[in-house]
A = this chain, B = another copy of it.
Amino acid sequence: MKKKERLSIVKIGGNIVDNPEALKAFLADFHRLEGRKLLVHGGGVMASKMASQLGIETKMVQGRRITDGETLKLVTMVYAGWINKSMVASLQQIGCNAIGLSGADANVIPSVRRSPEPVDFGFVGDPDPEKINTAFLSQLIESKATPILCAITHDGHGSLLNTNADTIAYSVATALSKQYKTSLYYCFEKEGVLRDLNDPLSLIPSMNKAECDKYKLQGIIADGMIPKLDNSFRAIENGVSRVIILHAQNLLNQQGTVLR
């Protein structure tokens, strides 16, 4: 059997995306990351700012945005428009052949709209990892292009869907792990999973699922970290070789919380 090539899938969060200096440094590091790669980005911070500028109320339930028609338009403009294309232009400038895509483009990420029960999130969907267009993504990657995926997908029935960027990263990593030896990096503005959110020295350097469950019970792991970790362990169970949760500035030295 042919040895699998390595592929890095990097997710970058909204707080970094909204900070021009930090984003510039991160994109330079991402470009330096060797080998085949793919980037997934959020943008929720900027979307909330733009919503308030347009007088659209931001409603969050369980850390997720309730997405009515106006909000769908807004997040599509911000994620697929300004953030995605600015990042592509910055990467092209430094010699990375970036190509920005939503999940609708070339049907890269077909998704299923969430059931309106128990919470009606509106135009929100979850990707089906079995249906990711891996043929097209790997065609791009093998032709030396670097896909930059935003957090917008579609349902195949004409509707765009707001989709959690962590979940996109998990879904794409899982789907591509059949073909590549895949590492998944969740980059954000903390050092990794911390025992104390205010103390970067309290980093938990590695964790398995049983330990994670224990930390959850103790309340050490809470809020937005829970779906990130759930996605991470699911990725490992489904064939992803390595998942690291780390500070965006540590992408090259890869120091953070390694999940086992």
Interfacial residues, chain A to chain B (CB-CB below 8 A)? 53-54, 73, 76-82, 84-86, 88-90, 92-93, 97-102, 104-107, 136, 139, 143, 145, 152, 154, 156-160
In contact, B158 and A93 (Cβ under 8 angstroms):
yes
Partner of A81, one of B76, B92, B157: B76
Chain B residue at smallest Cβ distance from A145: B106
Chain B residue at smallest Cβ distance from A93: B158
Partner of A85, one of B53, B104, B106: B104
Specify which chain B residues have a CB less than 8 angstroms from the CB of A98 in the assembled complex.
104-106
In contact, A84 and B90 (Cβ under 8 angstroms):
no
Take A97-B107, A143-B139 as given contacts and tell me if A160 and B76 are in contact as well, using a CB distance cutoff of 8 Å. Answer: no
In contact, A159 and B89 (Cβ under 8 angstroms):
yes
In contact, A80 and B85 (Cβ under 8 angstroms):
yes
Take A93-B157, A143-B139 as given contacts and tell me if A88 and B76 are in contact as well, using a CB distance cutoff of 8 Å. Answer: no
Copies of this protein, total: 2
CB distance from A94 to the nearest CB of B (A): 8
Partner of A154, one of B53, B80, B89, B157: B89
A104–B96 Cα distance when bound, in Å, is: 11
A23–B100 Cα distance when bound, in Å, is: 24
Partner of A78, one of B81, B86, B107: B81
In contact, B104 and A89 (Cβ under 8 angstroms):
yes
Partner of A90, one of B54, B76, B107, B158: B158
CB distance from A39 to the nearest CB of B (A): 13
A188–B8 Cα distance when bound, in Å, is: 44
Q: Please indicate which of the listed interface residues A81, A86, A99, A145 has the most CB atoms of chain B within 10 Å of its own CB.
A: A81
19 more contacts with CB within 8 A, not counting A79-B81, A81-B81, are A54-B54, A76-B82, A77-B77, A77-B81, A77-B82, A78-B81, A80-B82, A85-B102, A85-B105, A85-B152, A88-B104, A89-B160, A90-B158, A92-B107, A93-B157, A93-B158, A97-B107, A98-B105, A136-B145
7 A-B contact pairs sorted by A residue (CB < 8 Å)? A73-B82, A77-B78, A77-B82, A85-B105, A88-B105, A90-B158, A100-B104
Take A80-B80, A92-B107 as given contacts and tell me if A160 and B85 are in contact as well, using a CB distance cutoff of 8 Å. Answer: yes
In contact, A88 and B73 (Cβ under 8 angstroms):
no
A157–B90 Cα distance when bound, in Å, is: 8
A186–B47 Cα distance when bound, in Å, is: 35
In contact, A99 and B88 (Cβ under 8 angstroms):
no
